[in-house]
Amino acid sequence: MEKTGNNFRQLDESLFSDGYNLCNMFLFKGFTQGNLFAAQKQLYKVIDEFNASFLKRAEVEVEPAECRMGCSYCCHQTVLATPAEFFYLAGFLRNKFREDVLQSIIEKAKAKMEKTGTLKIDKLLKYKAPCPLLHPTGGYCRAYQARPMACRIYFSKSIQSCRDDLNSPEDDTVFPDLFDLPLRVGRMLNEGFHARLRKEKESIQLFENTIEEGIFVALKDGIFEKWTKGENVFKMIKS
């Protein structure tokens, strides 16, 4: 089921092309917020369909994923996503939540960003704290339908490995036991998708940032327009 060796290059090239062409299906009509959101929604639909098929096969041929509703260990680690994903997420949040709930999410994002914004990448990837979108009592994502690609392709074979990773952030020998193929498929689709964005607008920021900064920045009024004009609206993560 898992591809190995020389198959990887062919798989990567095919997935990259799929991501590029998917984005192009919408952006050839023009680089507008509506077209970008439609493209992002379709990209998520494609990866979700792949994941459903993969997990069904894994349960029979390999081993089942232990991810379940209410399990939120992975919702405490660093989540990186791209500006296009953040703007799509921001649109979802605006449409779903009342102003008071939205402000609560923004405040949580700001509080976490104040802690993670000064960290270099090595420390950032080890930092553990609840995602601003994690429901405070229910243990579920409040924006599940619009969650970034990184969250959609994260499937664990062992809940215990996720628990150990959360409880031992400084131990480099402890890490979640994840399925490799969904990670690879999602990453390469994303790279092709953003290659098409880069062709359309060479000056726009497309590097990844933390979900807390993404939420805090993307929900500001007029920020999408500034981004499309090439302004640096997101801070780069320190290397």
What is the C-alpha to C-alpha distance for residues 47 and 189, in angstroms, rounded to an integer? 8
Give the per-residue pLDDT at 201.
84
pLDDT in tens, 186-201: 999 999 999 999 998 8
Give the per-residue pLDDT at 4.
56
Give the per-residue pLDDT at 182.
97
From 16-25, 56-65, 210-219, the region with the lowest mean pLDDT: 56-65
CA-closest candidate to residue 77, choices 144, 130, 118, 152: 130
**Residues 161 and 175 sit within 8 Å (Cβ to Cβ):** yes
What is the C-alpha to C-alpha distance for residues 167 and 170, in angstroms, rounded to an integer? 9
What is the C-alpha to C-alpha distance for residues 146 and 141, in angstroms, rounded to an integer? 10
Does residue 5 have a pLDDT over 70?
no
What is the C-alpha to C-alpha distance for residues 213 and 105, in angstroms, rounded to an integer? 12
Does residue 7 have a pLDDT over 90?
no
Across the range 71-91, mean pLDDT stands at 96
Q: The whole model's pTM is what?
A: 0.94
**Residues 194 and 82 sit within 8 Å (Cβ to Cβ):** yes
**Residues 188 and 15 sit within 8 Å (Cβ to Cβ):** yes
The helix-helix angle for 99-116 and 211-218 (nearest 10°) equals: 130
Does residue 2 have a pLDDT over 60?
no
Q: H or E element: which one contains 16?
A: helix 7-27
